[in-house]
Amino acid sequence: MMESGNGVVMLKITLSVLNLLFLVFGTELLLMGASIHLNLYPLSLLATKSITGVPAVLIIVGVLIFFMAVFGIAAVWKENITMMKVFLILMTLVFLVAVTVEVSTYIFRSQVYTNLTDGFEKSIREYDENSKLGVIVNRLQIKFHCCGSNNYTDWFKTTFGKATLSVPSSCCINITDSCGRSVSYQTANVHTVGCTGTMAAWIEEHFSIIRGTGVGFALAQVIGIFVSCLYIKKLQDNYIPGY
């Protein structure tokens, strides 16, 4: 009986630690999804197709994982067989959702560069610095320290560039009203790298973190499902009164 009791305690501690890890991961996924969504929102206004679907899914999954972990902690410490069975079902469902998210990030990565390139090139062709579109382009160029789609010379193919023989001031390292002029022969004060590559690299960096932690989370869930089954069996074998 003592060994059985010790087994229950060890399983309880193991599940508690796993649920704390799930809490951390759920919070991380929620915050990262929100961060990516906020940063992608201006890009989504330029992109030819929506690129905010996956971040929204990350937020939803993060919330699900968080509440699953809270429910799991309550189920473990109450030693309630019914709650543990519900937790086991939730964990299995979240595991399947997490795998789906992992796959969708790969799909998202393959689509995002094309969508960004098409959307940004279209935006600079129609650029007007006083329009809403112009404000978004300027904001992105300042934020990502870039100029044009592929590089700064893209602006010379646009109506704005041909008319003014310049790039927008948002391309400048040190921004002044006329800093984009004479850039055709003087680029010391201009970001010469393109925006689509820079933005795609930023997105890829964040999703690489999600994929890496996602693999660890999936392994932890497999362990959690296995340990939960053992814990439920121990509770049933011990015939805990009142359950």
The burial class, CB within 10 Å (0-12 / 13-18 / 19+), for 86 is middle
Q: Which residues contact 223 (CB under 8 A, 6 or more apart)?
A: 18
Which tens digit of pLDDT belongs to each residue from 6-48? Answer: 677 888 888 999 999 899 888 888 888 888 777 777 776 666 5
Which tens digit of pLDDT belongs to each residue from 174-206? Answer: 988 778 776 655 778 899 899 988 888 887 787
**pLDDT grade for 129, boundaries at 50, 70 and 90:** confident
**pLDDT grade for 3, boundaries at 50, 70 and 90:** very low
What's phi and psi for 126, nearest 5 deg? -100, 15
SS3 content of the chain, % helix, strand, coil (to 5): 75, 0, 20
Which of 39-53, 99-113, 150-164 is least confident?
39-53
Q: Which residues contact 83 (CB under 8 A, 6 or more apart)?
A: 71, 74, 75
